[in-house]
Amino acid sequence: MAADSMEIDDALYSRQRYVLGDTAMQKMAQSHVFLSGIGGLGVEIAKNIILAGVKALTVHDTKHCTKWDLGINFFIHEDDVTSQRNRAEATLPRIAELNPYVHVAASTVPLDETTDLSFLKHYQCVILTEVSLLLQKKINDFCHAQQPPIKFISADVYGVCSRLFCDFGDEFEVLDTTGEEPKEIFISNITQSNPGIVTCLENHPHRLETGQFLTFREVNGMSCLNGSTHQITVVSPYSFSIGDTSEMEPYLHGGIAVQVKTPKMCYFEQLEKQITNPLCLVPDFSKPEAPLQIHVAMLALNQFQENFGRGPNIGCLQDAEEMLKIAISISETLENKPQVNGDVVKWLSRTAKGFLPPLAAAVGGVASQEVLKAVTGKFSPLQQWLYIDVLDIVTPLEKMGSEEFVPRGDRYDALRACIGDSLCQKLHDLNVFLVGCGAIGCEMLKNFALLGVGTGQDKGLVTITDPDLIEKSNLNRQFLFRPHHIQKPKSYTAAEATLNINPYIKIDSDINKVCPATENTYSDEFYTKQDVIVTALDNVEARRYIDSRCVANLRPLIDSGTMGTKGHTEVIVPHLTESYNSHRDPPEEEIPFCTLKSFPAAIEHTIQWARDKFESSFSHKPSLFNKFWQTYPSAEEVLQRIKSGESLEGCFHVIKTLSRRPRSWTQCVELARVKFEKYFSHKALQLLHSFPLDTRLKDGSLFWQSPKRPPFPVKFDFNDPLHYGFIVSTAKLFATVYCVPFTEKDLSEETILGIISSVKVPEFRPSNKVVQTDETARKPDHIPVSSEDERNAIFQLEKSILSNEALETDLQMKPISFEKDDDSNGHIDFVTAASNLRAKMYNIEPADRFKTKRIAGKIIPAIATATAAVSGLVALELIKVVGGYPADAYKNCFLNLAIPIMVFTETAEVRRTEIRNGISFTIWDRWTIYGKEDFTLLDFINAVREKYGIEPTMVVQGVKMLYVPVMPGHIKRLKLTMQKLVKPSADKKYVDLTVSFAPETDGEEDLPGPPVRYYFVQEDN
């Protein structure tokens, strides 16, 4: 993003623009940031804020690269260690590559108590990592005292504990606290009272909070509300009060209340004051006391370092005892005198010299978002401390000897100091399947490389797959990719980049989609070889499928996802937790067919209408046209067949398309002009013919009232850019699908005006077509063709053949696939113009191209900060899965960095289903029956009864019912062999069946059972 012109490079930043908005993006592109300490946490923060697009970043460090750094800083390589380069200088070229718009500089001068801090006045935000608490206080005081204050952030990761602190000055104005779209509420009633109660449409809860502000528009009757702003008090999920309306005119109908975003002032205290009385975010509500306990432990660590000029030694119990004494005395000096947690202090002391890269990724993601808040005023800042610990990783390691944690002189020493050598070895020997190499996938591979996953000498492999190619918009958060990688496969490129971080990692990369069609590659045998599956996907359907494969093969799965600043992680462990499919989100609300077709009430409806028009005109119809002429190769043959009374599916629409086919650029423009009239004038006139403005319903209320908006025809005006834009984009798309060439000259205003001024636009003739008004009605699959239409088709086809307009080249079209990210193809231009013209016709607020692109392209807003945080949390859970930890150690997380909140919860314990007589099962149970070649269905049923003590009354394979006694002919099936019933493919050794059992009392539902895996022959084992 060139800060001088303030142009935003949409091809690069589009997904992030939807998170931050243009105002924040432009503020960010003018900001200078200083970051001290480019260790494992500093490099995470640097990566994220460079990807985001600040104007300039200075990275400061005085240390030299050591072997230790290879395991914590993913941009330090072995040759940097050999040549003992300064960490900032070694990292600089690699972080600078992440974003060409950001100016990155390195500083290696000492920063200590004697430094003149006036150089910091050049920066809007200062971030400190690996800096002593004394120096942190001094720099914080300096930053706080400036006018305006320099925003101050300090962050550290010591072993199993981390802290983050923010001070943005005495007063800091937040322009948008949440980043959520302002809510629009359709009104059904407003009382004439004090206070006036506003009720919204039924089944549409307002989801507002007391104290928020709303403005009103389009209210009929109580019209003095229009344009006014009111603070609301929530009365119920469907109503709220707005103050005195008793003197206003009575409410008649309609009206929309729109949420008004109001700036909020946040107040910060300096570090010195906050140390004694900290204001902390609580991430785990099961441990509300934890943040204060870690606060005391970390202050004790700082004091220990000051007292002894060193940190506590790895695993040293004596140092831990000393630190505990310091913690107890520090606790007495704090305002709330918090209780000291001996375990927290002990583990912090034992691991403080170590470093957990995934914890740095999680904290680094949160800290980077705070930097962006500091320089933009977008989203609510952290007030003022965040402490995250991973004691649940180390608590089970209590009994390990101290030799487990001591350095071995390799790149994993920092990690080993936290989790011990045995767990490090298990990570090296791990077989992991990572599905998806997008934003989370890239971050996960970096975490794997730092943890040494898949680097074992004899064991261990990382298998990755992703069918996608790299696009420019990926570079904003998929940090393993560079501009020269565009249009290369994500998986191969990511694998190569990961080897730069850790040359010892073994990666097998594929470009397959993981779905039923690739089950030969990702077979049960493949899953059984994996120790854990990690998904980095962007859709629910793929997650559900992979979850079902993990459950069938008893494999642990760690899932995660982000949407803007929101993120989640979920751990699924065989026999301990529920699976992903155990809970289902409510399906997305579909826009009713009649709303899309005739009664739009919001811009989303007109955008979806335009998107559907694109699909039907430029993709669906051309595809059907081609398919028809591939089935019936000549027009003469088709004419003969329909003359002889044959009914050829789709022939009426195909012949209509052929007879109206534009054959020149002029005809494409004429067709676009006729479509304009049909869509934006005739449609309105027809609706007003069917339902005049004074139409009333049976109950006497007006037909045209909120949310129904009456349409008004749009009169074509060549000088209106919206009208002109529709004609040009539509004509270009018609020219593409009908293979009509056009030149730059054809696109000139002069040429198009010349064509349009001579177009004969058909007059409106009202029809008696029934307009669908039922919101539950679905789009009809087939519109019946009348006999008159059929006669017309014969006439039109004869005419085309006689005019030599049904030749082989005429029987082909070029379908277009909608592509949102190519600005030169005109797809978004068409959707924006068509949507906004329809919005104008219905008096709906239009949307700019940017918003239209997000909605039409179903773009998921994304930002590197949330991705990094989520992937760090996933890697922490991976360590627990590898260690075979008990159920209570695992944590799921939901976070929203905008607010900010981070909530850790325990995983849901797996449910056990009782059948009867003490027989029960969970989703992780699978019964097995071994058969032989002549094994019948009756043999199978008897085998289940003998082995498991209960007789199945029903056997199902997928959706195919093999045996349901009440179904005719099914009793005879008992004598059939399983081979004949199931018809397995040659290489299939078994089949998964579902059985159910008779209920205990008649009339009740059958009792479900677990899956039964039936092997066709006894396995040799």
Residue that the structure tokens 């800091």 belong to: 172
- One-letter amino acid at 915 equals I
Taking a C-beta distance cutoff of 8 angstroms, is the pair 899, 598 a contact? Answer: no
Q: Cα-Cα-Cα-Cα dihedral of 433, 439, 444, 450, to 10°?
A: 140
Ramachandran bin of 759, using left for φ above 0, alpha for ψ from -120 to 50, beta for the remaining angles: beta
Q: Could you say which DSSP state residue 577 is in?
A: B
Instruction: State the pLDDT confidence band at 447, using cuts at 50, 70 and 90.
Output: very high
- 945 versus 465: the higher-pLDDT residue is 465
- Provide the pLDDT for residue 647: 78
Instruction: State the pLDDT confidence band at 784, using cuts at 50, 70 and 90.
Output: low
Give the containing element (helix H, strand E) for 970.
none
Average pLDDT for the chain: 92
**Cα–Cα distance between 921 and 908 in angstroms, integer?**
16
**Alpha helix locations (H) across 452-512?**
490-501
Nearest Cα neighbor of 470 from 432, 496, 449, 434 is: 496
- 521 versus 997: the higher-pLDDT residue is 521
pLDDT digits (tens, 9 = 90+) for 995-1010: 888 877 766 778 888 8
Percent of the chain exceeding pLDDT 70 equals 97
Structure tokens at 367: 């800290």
Mean pLDDT lowest for which of 77-91, 214-228, 870-884?
Answer: 214-228
pLDDT digits (tens, 9 = 90+) for 137-188: 999 999 999 999 999 999 999 999 999 999 999 999 999 999 998 999 999 9
- In angstroms, the Cα distances linking 258 to 20, 208, 715, 835, 861 are 21, 11, 30, 21, 23
Residue that the structure tokens 């449910």 belong to: 911
State whether residue 558 is helix, strand or coil: strand
- In angstroms, the Cα distances linking 832 to 183, 455, 711, 855 are 22, 51, 19, 10
**Alpha helix locations (H) across 420-536?**
421-428, 439-451, 490-501, 524-529
Percent of the chain exceeding pLDDT 90 equals 74
- Provide the pLDDT for residue 682: 96
As annotated, the active-site residues are 594
Nearest Cα neighbor of 597 from 696, 682, 683, 693 is: 683
Taking a C-beta distance cutoff of 8 angstroms, is the pair 389, 284 a contact? Answer: no
Nearest Cα neighbor of 394 from 419, 367, 424, 361 is: 419
- Provide the pLDDT for residue 662: 94
- Half-sphere exposure (CA, 13 Å, Cβ side) for 272? 10
State whether residue 189 is helix, strand or coil: strand
**Alpha helix locations (H) across 210-270?**
none
Q: Pairing relation of β-strands 32-36 and 125-128? A: parallel
- Provide the pLDDT for residue 786: 62
- Per-residue 3-state assignment (H helix, E strand, C coil) for 376-429: HCECCCCCCEEEEECHHHHHHHCCCCHHHCCCCCCCCHHHHHHHCHHHHHHHHC
| Main-chain dihedrals φ then ψ at residue 94, nearest 5 degrees | -80, -35
- One-letter amino acid at 583 equals H
Give the predicted TM-score (pTM) of the model.
0.91
Structure tokens at 665: 């650029």
Mean pLDDT lowest for which of 70-84, 642-656, 919-933?
Answer: 642-656
pLDDT digits (tens, 9 = 90+) for 759-774: 999 999 998 888 887 7
Q: What is the DSSP string of 710-771?
A: ---PPPP-TTSHHHHHHHHHHHHHHHHHTT----TGGGSHHHHHHHHTT--PPPP----PPP
Structure tokens at 716: 């074509």
- Provide the pLDDT for residue 781: 66
Q: Cα-Cα-Cα-Cα dihedral of 315, 321, 326, 329, to 10°?
A: 150
**CA quadruple 859, 861, 863, 867: dihedral sign:** negative
Residue range 551-557: mean pLDDT, rounded: 95
- Provide the pLDDT for residue 5: 45
- Provide the pLDDT for residue 176: 94
pLDDT digits (tens, 9 = 90+) for 599-647: 999 999 999 999 999 999 999 999 999 999 998 878 888 888 888 877 7
Q: Could you say which DSSP state residue 472 is in?
A: G
pLDDT digits (tens, 9 = 90+) for 407-422: 999 999 999 999 999 9
Nearest Cα neighbor of 149 from 173, 113, 176, 175 is: 173
**Cα–Cα distance between 650 and 550 in angstroms, integer?**
44
**Alpha helix locations (H) across 803-931?**
827-841, 849-856, 864-882
- One-letter amino acid at 387 equals Y
Residue range 703-722: mean pLDDT, rounded: 93
Q: Please state, as a whole number, how many other Cβ atoms lie within 10 Å of the Cβ of residue 22.
A: 12
